Amino acid sequence: MKDRVALITGITGQDGSYLAELLLKKDYDVHGIVRRNSQHNRSRIEEIRDRARQRGRVFELYYGDLCDSGSLNRIISLVKPTEVYNLAAQSHVRISFDQPEFTTDVTGTGVLRLLEAIRINKLEARFYQASTSELYGLAQEKPQTERTPFYPRSPYGIAKLYGFWIVKNYRESYDIHASNGILFNHESPRRGKNFVTRKITYSLACIKHDMQQTLFLGNLNTQRDWGFAGDYVEAIWRMLQLKEPDDFVIATGQMHTVRSFVEKAAALCDFDLAWEGCEQNEIGRDTKTGRILVKIDPRFYRPAEVDELRGDATKAREKLGWQPKVSFEELVSMMMESDLKLVEKQKQLL
């Protein structure tokens, strides 16, 4: 069988770590691009890399940046991947309003730089672009499919829209096997703590262990289609195994509010959460102790809100044979249990 060599941008992130694990199990040589910074940010992949090396598998990392076409050309010409997975981005929607130019350069133009590196090096590599449900923004129909018109509502969503269309352009102009995965929200214990789901589970675990007083959130009534990242990387891989490239919505088809996520996570901490007040004055109180667990902070509202996103993954089921395995309740439980254990360990070290 021909050697399968994968290059993953964003390998140190949530999706990158799950994808690296999956590809190693499928006997790929795995290579990843990491950005150089003053803080060590490889905690998600250290154990995976150690296990790979113990089994004699290839797992190599290279310094590079989606803002630096020279580094991308150098790495691609050296690795000669058969599959390229672009998972890197400035991916925090709220922060994209504060850093719109940087978000555009990394999340949008970075896709072009990667595609150009593949084209210039004359590689026959298959390419995956991590698109997002934020493309739909002010959703024009419900649920959203591959044919739903886009209406992004943030600099992040707009940058991702450029990435989506430049992939289609290079696919049609240069016959590159390039696919877009329009992934709806997907979470895990490896999610960054500044994303709302992980912020909820980690903060509640800290409150449970008396290491934090209150969880501050924005719009509790925002609804999202939440799945498990470990399920979604399987769909990502399956896209690049198709004979012809295509674009797919990957979603569970079910919506839940931020409020519902908080309630389920709080119950797993043995809190009896009850809501009082309304809008920005609303609080969540533990009726057992009278303690205020949740408060609203207007800083966490977006300038242009996206209220409801729900995906229709019929095409992925039919063409990829994919469907999610982990339910919403199982996802919340997985994340909450993981953070309770993590915070308990952290407390013991104090």
Tell me the catalytic residues: 132, 134, 156
| Residue at token pair 């519902």 | 260
In this structure, what DSSP letter does residue 10 have? T
177, two tokens: 């096997």
β-pair partners for 294:
215, 284
51, two tokens: 């296990």
| Residue at token pair 């992939």 | 167
Separation in Å, CA 321 to CA 79, 225, 232, 254, 316: 30, 20, 13, 19, 7
CA torsion 328→255→15→327, rounded to 10°?
20
CA angle 215, 345, 25 (to 5 degrees): 100
Give residues with Cβ within 8 angstroms of 172, minimum separation 6.
none
Beta strand 283-286 with 256-257: parallel, antiparallel or unpaired? Answer: unpaired
Q: In residues, how long is the chain?
A: 350
Q: CA-CA distance, 239 to 248, in Å (whole number)?
A: 8
Nearest Cα residue to 136 out of 310, 327, 4, 270: 310
Could you give the residue ranges of the DSSP H alpha helices within the chain?
Answer: 14-25, 46-54, 69-79, 93-98, 100-103, 110-120, 155-174, 196-208, 229-239, 258-268, 314-320, 328-349
Contact 264, 154 (CB under 8 A): no
